[in-house]
Amino acid sequence: MVGVVALSLPVQSAYATGTAVDLGTSASYSVLGGQSVTNTGSSVLAGDLGVSPGTSITGFPPGTVLGDTHTTDAHASQAQSDLGIAYNSAASQASDASISDDLGGSTLLAGVYTASSSIGVTGTLTLDAEGDPDAVFIFQIGSTLITAPNSTISLLNGAQSCNVFWQVASSATLDTNTQFVGTIMALTSITANNGTTVDGRALARNGSVTLDTNTFTNSVCKDTPPTGTPTDTPTDTPTDTPTDTPTDTPTDTPTDTPTDTPTTPPATHPGGPGTHPGGPGTQPGGPGTQPGGPGTHPGDTTPPRGGGEQPSGGETSGPSMTALPNTGASGGNPLAAASGVAVLVGIGLIVSGITRSRRVKS
């Protein structure tokens, strides 16, 4: 009977009308009781634990609370207030389909399902989002919600536990080893028997929450994927900051101090007067220095043999001498040269004789 009801649901209508319930501050709680919270065994709560307006929380430890514990404080009071708003929001949503009896073995699409009395789940109830992560499943139950041992609420095709809500007008009981999904908002009480796991919340407005070695996780809704063809946001091409090309500091090319090239005196041809070693003008008293010697005879205007300037840069075989005007015999006359030699020899003999004479006297 239940399977027939599920298959006869108006799929499009159910997909369109379910709206996620805003839990307000009560969303941070794994367990919230109106009168008390009691735990047995090593239960683990991923979110907050609280009670209001009651004052009793027991069994922690050995139970573990990974969030905060609020006992009759302002936070728990506000959470109860928000829970009341959420409960009424879920109960007031327009129904898409009616359900009754046991939902085990059924597959339901997104929508708001209403039961005038109690609902049971034996085995597996599958909630199919048909690929829409925003698909919402709301169950409006007029009395109690009871699951059989080892029952499972299964999510299919992108369905998320954060979008599953159970509004229960009386109390909810999750039997041993039930794998439950969604947020239970019960007007009275909630009981989770040994080994039951809940991916969601157990929020009781007026009564108590009783736990026994249970595990609560709070799955966070994933972002809704974009619809339609995504439009690429144009990205401005970054403008490279111009980098100034470093300017090499100009290095002054050292200017060589110009060195005046010594001007080589005009070379005098070897053998000329005043240049040949031992020649006229180089020996003391030789020609060119004694009156009447070659190169000093007045009126001699003929340059010495081999004399005259050589091309610039030519080598000289001795220091440059300035020739006196030739006042003697022509430098080119062999007899004159011989006469000069004879004079030198004569002078040498005279000097030698005088020297000997002095030595004899002394």
What is the rounded average pLDDT of the residues 222-251?
A: 50
Q: Average pLDDT of 283-299? A: 41
The 10s digit of each residue's pLDDT in 12-65 is 344 447 899 999 999 999 999 999 999 999 999 999 999 999 999 999 999 999
Of 163-177, 193-207, 226-240, 312-326, the one with minimum mean pLDDT is 312-326
Lowest mean pLDDT among 37-46, 176-185, 272-281: 272-281
User: Quick one: pLDDT at residue 350?
Assistant: 74
89-115: pLDDT as tens digits: 999 999 999 999 999 999 999 999 999
For residue 331, is pLDDT > 90? no
Which three-class secondary structure string do you get for the chain?
Answer: CHHHHHHCCCHHHHHHHCCCCCCHHHHHEEEEECCEEEEECCCEECCEEEECCCCEEECCCCCEECCCEEECCHHHHHHHHHHHHHHHHHHHCCCCEECCEECCCCEEECEEEEECCCEEECCEEEEECCCCCCCCEEEEECCCEEECCCCEEEEECCCCHHHEEEEECCCEEECCCCEEEEEEEECCCEEECCCCEEEEEEEECCCEEEEECCEEECCCCCCCCCCCCCCCCCCCCCCCCCCCCCCCCCCCCCCCCCCCCCCCCCCCCCCCCCCCCCCCCCCCCCCCCCCCCCCCCCCECCCCCCCCCCCCCCCCCCCCCCCCCECCCCCCCHHHHHHHHHHHHHHHHHHHHHHHHHHHHC
Per the model's pLDDT, the better-predicted residue between 270 and 146 turns out to be 146
CA distance 42 to 64: 7
Instruction: Using pLDDT thresholds of 50, 70 and 90, give the confidence band for residue 334.
Output: low
Average pLDDT, the chain: 76
Phi, psi for 122 (deg, rounded to 5):
-120, 120
Q: Is the pLDDT of residue 326 over 60?
A: no
222 band by pLDDT with thresholds 50, 70 and 90: confident
Percent of the chain with pLDDT over 70: 59
Between residues 242 and 155, which one has the greater pLDDT? 155
Within 10 A of 333 (CB to CB), how many other CB atoms are there?
15
Sheet holding 119-121, edge to edge: 56-58, 36-40, 208-212, 190-192, 172-174, 145-147, 119-121, 101-102
Tell me the pLDDT tens digit for each residue of 117-131. Answer: 999 999 999 999 999
Q: Which residues pair with 155 in a beta bridge?
A: 127
Residue 267 has pLDDT above 70, yes or no: no
Q: Is the pLDDT of residue 175 over 50?
A: yes
Q: What is the pLDDT of residue 274?
A: 40
Which residue has better confidence, 4 or 177? 177
Report pLDDT for 147: 98
Token pair of 218 as six digits: 């709070």
Comparison of pLDDT for 132 and 297, the residue scoring more? 132
Q: Where are the domains of the chain?
A: 2-217, 333-362
